[in-house]
Chains A and B, each alone.
Chain A
Amino acid sequence: MVSGNDSINLHNRLTLFRVEAGLSRAALAERVGVNPQTIGFLERGQYGPSLELGLKLAAVFGVPVEALFSLVPFQSLASQLARPAAGDER
């Protein structure tokens, strides 16, 4: 953990978006102008990005920054998919 950065309670879905976009960490890092290791730290939640970096990352995937980062845990994809399926069965 990078001490000195207080955003250790920030949740993210960076890995999900990156993998869906077919980007490696190195490719994503190059697009936003950081070291590939930084992407790893971001994905593991060990570093909270600055506003500028957060916006750059969101722009890569074409989503609002709130879709990538959140102060509360994101719902798991499995639970999100299970609910509509449970609703369809009724």
Chain B
Amino acid sequence: MAIYPPLRLKLRTARALSLVVLVAMPLGYLGGAIWPDQDGGTSLPFAILRLVGLFAGVFLFVDIRNQRANAPDTMLDERERAERDSAYRASHYGIIGALFLAFLYTIPAKLLGWWFPTRDGAIDLLSGFGIASLALPGIILAWRERGEQD
């Protein structure tokens, strides 16, 4: 019953990277969509935030915690299965909640003429949302994990 992940980050590192993903991705993608540069593209600071968030997300995705979230049942003990299921439920609620808020925003936005993303901005937002969602179960597992000394 062993998982051999590409990466085995220390708990503190995984948690730090998760904060980077949760801060940098929304700021980078949403900020870049709301405040494009003069040519309509993504301004440099937001592009850097996106890259930072993206690399942090990739590291988290290949870390053991996310690998454990995607492992088949036979490779996990009963507690790990329960944790994995709980992490996926929490991720599901988080993703559904974020989508619901976004859809909720569109109603007054259309009526009151609030900001709406361009087509490219919408694709960027969906990309950032997708990448953050991929890393979300591993993020939840990293924050629920207890340290080795416990």
Contacts and interface: CB of A to CB of B under 8 A. Distances in A.
Size bracket of the A interface? 10 to 19
A47 B90 CA distance: 18
B1 interface: yes
B150 A47 contact: no
A84 interface: no
Contacts of A37: 79, 145-146
Interface stretch (B29-37, B54-62, B81-89, B111-119): B81-89
Contact of B82 (A4, A33, A42, A44): A4
Given A2-B144, A40-B146, A34 B77 contact: yes
Contacts of A49: 78
A45 to B, nearest CB: 13
Interface in B43-89: 77-80, 82-83, 85-86, 89
Given A2-B86, A41-B146, 11 more contacts: A4-B82, A4-B83, A4-B85, A4-B89, A5-B79, A34-B79, A35-B80, A40-B146, A40-B150, A44-B150, A49-B78
